[in-house]
Amino acid sequence: MTPGLTREDGQLKIRVMKGLELTPLRLLLLLGAIGFLFVLPAIARNTGDLPIRIRPIYRGMVLGLAAVGLNLLLRHTDLVSFGHAAFFGTAAYTTAIMVQLLNVQSAVVLIVVAIVAATLMATLIGYFTLPHEGLYFALVTLAFGQLIYSIPVGIQELGGTDGLNALTGQAGVSINEQYPHLGGIFLNGQEVPNTILFWITIVLVVLSLLVMFRIVRSPFGNALDAIGQQRTRARFLGLPVKRYVWAAFIISGIYGGIAGALYALFFSTTIDPGSTLQVFVSGDILYIAILGGFKTLTGPFVGGIVFETLSNVASDVVLTGPAGEKEVGRLITGAVLLIIVFAFPSGIVGSLKPGGRVYEGVRELLRNPGVIGPWSRRAGNGLMNMVKRAADNVRILIMGVK
């Protein structure tokens, strides 16, 4: 089906691709959001001390892309993985090894090889996780993630806890020419190369989202939905459940691999286990998917940018007291994220779309501003109930059940 105009219930829609039809307003908003991402590097360069920094936004973009892959499992097969950093880190380390030990500098080759490595890793881990469901599936993925994390930590040739960098280290070559290159441009972390890589990443993210859209709308995606709702029933319907879940696991690993390769090209001097393979990275990817809205396509990507930007802004906050300066960034990040979770129960994108709590609340407020009074009373009662429950829990912990 080719792009074009169509009408549904008398409403004009623009067909972007098969199955993707948007109203002119939604298409305009979508193009505006993509355009905003393209000009973000220029905005960051011209906003001085404002908290618009490219590095955390870029990290949020690639972690968000990994979360889009994880979301295929989370949303459609009802499986929670705590080990997706294994694919992200495998791709990042493969990129660094290819550059530093094999002197491969072509960014295209590096991305392709890194994706292949992440795919093989996902194929292997997916095979061993197939017999498990629910909590045991989560624990097995967590165990594999920790196992993969321990490999570079214990091998000094891979840099141990310090990690590797993606520079060739060739003698007689300038430092600039030791970085990976893309079409003759060395990705050395300077302004122009970083901006080009940022733009390429946006294009890859958009393409990856469109591919994921087609996957979840295909018969394969429908089968995953059936498996997620009730595995036994799907099996009785004749679906090869294990084969489908394995395929979904591998696809989610490919997304992690793309994200890891792009991360390694941008952060080429800091590829270490802590920032790529640690269990907290897996936790971040999972949290990002939920924060952005795991029942939406774009939510995990948006969640990645919001999460990393908030974390970066909060990391600058320092309180000075009698005992000296204290960093309270994590405390503030946790508090703000809690507020977001309560305010956006379906995730940021899920709550803002038609039918979401925030979207419907704004519509109701515009129709009848008097709803603020009942809302305030309801919020107050809810807060009081939460405090009462917390006090009861503390009493039970201290004094026991009476």
Report residue 357's pLDDT band, with 50, 70 and 90 as the boundaries.
confident
Average pLDDT, the chain: 86
Quick one: pLDDT at residue 383? 77
Mean pLDDT of 110-124: 95
> Distance (Å, rounded) from C-alpha 40 to C-alpha 38?
6
SS3 content of the chain, % helix, strand, coil (to 5): 70, 5, 20
pLDDT tens-place string over residues 31-45: 999 999 999 888 888
On the question of pLDDT at 166 being above 80, the answer is: yes
pLDDT tens-place string over residues 49-100: 666 788 889 999 999 999 999 999 988 888 888 989 999 999 999 999 999 8
Which is it for strands 11-17 and 20-22: parallel, antiparallel or unpaired?
antiparallel
- How far are the Cα atoms of 76, 79, 220, 226 from residue 231, in angstroms, in the given order? 12, 11, 15, 7
Quick one: pLDDT at residue 1? 60
Q: Above pLDDT 90, what percent of the chain? A: 35
Quick one: pLDDT at residue 376? 79
pTM metric for this prediction: 0.86
* Most confident stretch, 116-125, 309-318, 385-394: 116-125
> Are the beta carbons of 185 and 193 closer than 8 angstroms?
yes
> Are the beta carbons of 127 and 246 closer than 8 angstroms?
yes
On the question of pLDDT at 231 being above 90, the answer is: no
The answer for residues whose C-beta is within 8 angstroms of residue 53's C-beta and 6 or more apart is 44, 312
> Distance (Å, rounded) from C-alpha 178 to C-alpha 143?
36
> Distance (Å, rounded) from C-alpha 260 to C-alpha 301?
15
- Can you tell me whether residue 277 is helix, strand or coil? coil
Mean pLDDT of 194-220: 93
Q: Above pLDDT 70, what percent of the chain? A: 95
Quick one: pLDDT at residue 51? 62
